[in-house]
Amino acid sequence: MTARILVAGIGNIFLSDDGFGSEVIRHAGIARDDPGIRVTDYGIRGMHLAYDLLEEWDTLVLVDAVPSRGSPGTLHVFQAECDEDPETACAPELDAHSMDPNAVFASLRALGGTPPYTVVVGCEAGSVEEGIGLSEPVARAVPRAVRAVEEIVSALQSSAAREER
């Protein structure tokens, strides 16, 4: 059984560094013809992502800008903690910008679904002010984030292949 992986870029390209997820997805060199993998730039379409998650994906790789802790451009890769309590379910420390991942997971639960295993590839934002284009430190992080996403997908595929044997 092949792993089903959804790679989702989220964020608002009109709010500077909030467009990080979209930029990473645009450059990701992941096979788009593999039926077990979907790579999508959701932008700010949270309900679209919630409905797509009803398809029971094994893993969600969420790519987004995260609040700055003083080091714009710093990448963070972590597993989102999910449990059945709606107050704490899948509560990665993501910014409540135009698309709040917690709201997506709440919508998913309201639709009868459950969040899959979720890995977040986040980059500390320098600016989320109105404007198109990433700040220099965040733009420099895009190639590293692309590699991280590609490596995560490859590792998930390899793990699923080993489990099949």
**pLDDT tens, position by position, 72-95:** 999 999 998 765 555 545 544 444
pLDDT digits (tens, 9 = 90+) for 95-150: 434 466 788 888 899 999 999 999 999 999 999 999 999 999 999 999 999 999 99
The C-alpha atoms of residue 142 and residue 67 are separated, in whole angstroms, by 16
For residue 57, CA distances in Å to 5, 35, 49 come to 6, 12, 12
The C-alpha atoms of residue 132 and residue 12 are separated, in whole angstroms, by 9
Nearest alpha-carbon partner for 115 in 78, 89, 141: 89
φ, ψ for residue 121, nearest 5 deg = -110, 105
For residue 70, the 8-state DSSP code is: S
Encoded tokens for 151 = 């490596």
Mean pLDDT of the residues in the chain: 87
Strands 117-124 vs 75-79: parallel, antiparallel or unpaired:
antiparallel
Architecture of domain 5-164: 3-Layer(aba) Sandwich (3.40)
pLDDT digits (tens, 9 = 90+) for 36-46: 999 999 999 88
Nearest alpha-carbon partner for 59 in 149, 135, 147: 149
Encoded tokens for 155 = 């590792």
Q: CA end-to-end span of the chain, whole Å?
A: 10
